[in-house]
Amino acid sequence: MKNKLIAQFQAVFGRSPEFVTRAPGRIEFIGNHTDYNGGTVLGAAVDRNIWVAIARRDDGQRRFFSAQGGEIITMPSGIPEKQEGLSKWTNYALGVIAAFPHFGLKVPEGFDYYDMSDLPAGAGMSSSAAIELASVLAFLEITGQADKVDRETVVKIGKHAENHFVGMPCGILDQGVSGFGKKDHLVFIDCRGPVFATVPIPAGAHFWIFNTHKKHALVDGFYAARNRECMEAAKALGVPLLADANATLLDKAEAEGRLKGDALKRARHVIEEIARVGETQKALAKGDLAAAGRLLTASHRSSQYLFENSVEELDTLVDALVATPHVYGSRLTGGGFGGAVMAMTDAAFGGEQAAQVVAAYEKKYGAKPDVIHCQTGDGAAVM
């Protein structure tokens, strides 16, 4: 991929890039919507990435091009403005530039920028965080600031771009996993710190993604609504964040009528999901993939019925997968409201079993989900 990127950069811009960076997408293993609630989460960086090639310019012009198609987009130097229309895809990189001063960093001025991906967009694998982190590393290199910034700050810059420029009120899960990923490991994040650690995955676990192509509507309101509902539930419980609550406190608030309806359901999901993250860590430490799989499926049912961020198509896939031999468990991965489900399987689950799941889905909906067999990968890096 690196050589292909360099060749295409040369074809578009007529010279070689100075730096190439990449950042992986991620699987949200378990911990759905726990991150911005101050909870814990487990994720895995995958072996599919967004790549960025970059070279400085002396004239202050910023030129963007994507291998996904389109034309060169030229913008002036300075603090960027949010884009709409055909140039909207540049907002992830522009958000990083806009974030630099908030971290005491010099803003990159003129450059040629080219991105390329083997990470499917809209599959719940956080291509947005991947392009943000690859951009952070690229801009640090061309401004000579790479040695000043540790990995945690790289992650925080990406999150700042997503929250304050793109407009998604996400937690640190996506950027954290893309930044701290390690092959054959999960990334554990205590989001309150944040504190990052890696957790070995027992041998024999395989990950399959089934992408429905159902459109995400996260920035347009659903994600923001769930965020707001969670904050309101925390306030009703008298705690700063839902991670500060527990089942006893929740049951007491319900009995007293202080928390009910949707707010009660959202809080119950988050509190129980944080507990499931802890139980999953224990199961993995024992090498008990079957127990971990049951927790994954329980997580999906909670998303389906309590957090209500699943959709019928995702539920159909999970139902089919958990009924298939050699599947430990399955759940939606990512923010929900469309996108993809993940299945953790043993080595005996292969293309034939995946095709059966796809055929059942196609019979019901008249469309085929894409199937991606993923391996874990390393985090964002300068190549």
What is the tens place of the pLDDT at every residue in 246-262?
999 999 999 999 999 99
The yes-or-no answer on residue 147 being catalytic is: no
| Span 94-103, average pLDDT | 96
Domain ranges of the chain: 2-200, 206-374
Structure tokens at 185: 């490991």
Angle of CA points 151, 157, 163, to nearest 5°:
140
Confidence band of 278 (pLDDT split at 50, 70, 90)? very high
Model pLDDT, residue 317 = 97
Model confidence at 265: pLDDT above 90: yes
Classify strands 327-333 and 206-211 as parallel, antiparallel or unpaired: unpaired
User: Is the confidence at residue 219, as pLDDT, over 50?
Assistant: no
Q: Which of 170-174, 224-228, 343-347, 361-365 has the lowest mean pLDDT?
A: 170-174
- Check pLDDT > 80 for residue 38: yes
Band (218; pLDDT cuts 50, 70, 90):
low
What does CATH list as the number for 2-200?
Answer: 3.30.230.10
206-374 folds as Alpha-Beta Plaits (3.30.70)
Q: Is the pLDDT of residue 127 over 90?
A: no
Report, as an integer, the average pLDDT of 355-372. 94
Q: How much is the average pLDDT of 157-171? A: 89
> What is the pLDDT of the chain when averaged over all its residues?
92
Catalytic residue among 174, 190, 220, 288: 174
The pLDDT of residue 283: 96
pLDDT at position 150 is 96
What is the Cα–Cα distance from 1 to 67, expressed in whole angstroms?
Answer: 12
**pLDDT (tens digit per residue) in 288-306:** 999 999 999 999 999 999 9
Give the pLDDT confidence score for residue 193 in this predicted structure.
Answer: 86
Of 192-206, 277-291, 297-311, the one with minimum mean pLDDT is 192-206
The pLDDT > 70 percentage for the chain reads: 97
Provide the pLDDT for residue 187. Answer: 95
Predicted confidence band of residue 121 (pLDDT cuts 50, 70, 90)? low
The average pLDDT across 44-72 equals 93
**pLDDT at position 17 over 50:** yes
Average pLDDT score over residue span 240-244 = 96
Band (216; pLDDT cuts 50, 70, 90): low
pLDDT for position 336 = 81
Residue 18's pLDDT is: 97
The pLDDT assigned to 179 comes to: 96
Residue 375 has pLDDT above 90, yes or no: no
pLDDT confidence of residue 214: 77
With cut-offs at 50, 70 and 90, classify the pLDDT of residue 1. Answer: confident
Q: In this predicted structure, what is the pLDDT of residue 125?
A: 73
